[in-house]
Amino acid sequence: MHLDRVQKIFILFCMVFGFICIMNINNPDMDDHVHPSYLDKLNLSGVDRIMIVAHPDDESLWGGAHLAQHRYFVVCLTNAKTYNYRRYWEFKNAMKITDTPNVILDYPDYENGHRIDWSPYEKDIEKDIRLLLSYRDWKEIATHNPDGEYGHQHHIATSRIVTKACRDGGLYDRLNYFGIYQWDIKDVKNIVTVSREYLEVKQKMFRPYYRERNTIKKHRLMHPYEQWIKASDWNRVKNKQEQTKDAGHQ
């Protein structure tokens, strides 16, 4: 079919207009924040645990089985708005699976092919985290471990900021870290897996994260394991595991 110039212009206009509409639909009304007036609107009835993560999908990767088992309030520090808020919606849809109350903040994540340095934002992040920790008498606080699981700079920063806030607030004894990351299948043979019931829920939580499907697949060795560690026990457990690995390699 031959199209004249006017028809081509009209089709191009429709395509551009449609793209703009999609962009506007996808952009959420970002009203998630940590002010008590907003937190008061959330359904936190019966919720006495809080989980603080760096990115959408971290809550599912490192704590999905816990979310399936208990009621947590999940706080995600970044919304990856460089992807037109796609990860914002993925996070919100994942949280619906376990009916988990949540907020997702707008600290930067990734731009122009590079992870954003959080140094200019750490004081604001710390301020928000202190407010969140003081908002309720949380019996458990969970976050990234000091290694950042597999070494992610934002995970490490989140762990450091949350740990400092817990120490300063007298909450360190309530702080749990996500489990030690294992790189080799032989290193997980003695680790207890989560129950099949909770693992199935966890795997459902992965489904909305189409944008991060390859990342989730990359960490599939860790999917059945969520051996969280009390912050006060971290160094002891980490050292013991390293000694065990060294002995096994001799």
pLDDT digits (tens, 9 = 90+) for 113-163: 789 999 999 999 999 999 999 999 999 999 999 999 999 999 999 999 999
pLDDT at position 14 over 80: no
> Model confidence at 8, in pLDDT bands (50, 70, 90)?
low
Gyration radius of the chain over CA positions = 21
Q: Render pLDDT for 39-52 as a digit per residue (tens, 0 to 9).
A: 999 999 999 999 99
> Which residues lie below 8 Å from residue 54, measured CB to CB, with a gap of 6+?
76, 77, 78, 144, 152, 154, 155, 157, 158
What's domain 41-231's architecture? 3-Layer(aba) Sandwich (3.40)
CB 122 within 8 A of CB 156: no
Domains in the chain: boundaries: 41-231
What mean pLDDT, rounded, does the chain reach? 89
CB 34 within 8 A of CB 132: yes
Claim: this prediction has a pTM higher than 0.85: yes
Burial of 18 (0-12, 13-18, 19+ CB in 10 A): exposed
The Cα 185–Cα 182 span in angstroms is 8
Tell me which amino acid residue 172 is: Y
126 vs 35, residue with greater confidence: 126
Q: Average pLDDT in the 21-29 region?
A: 50
The Cα 49–Cα 20 span in angstroms is 40
Query: Which H/E stretch holds residue 214?
Result: helix 213-218
pLDDT at position 82 over 60: yes
Structure token pair of residue 184: 């080799």
Structure token pair of residue 199: 């693992």
The Cα 173–Cα 178 span in angstroms is 15
> Which residues lie below 8 Å from residue 183, measured CB to CB, with a gap of 6+?
221
> Model confidence at 83, in pLDDT bands (50, 70, 90)?
confident
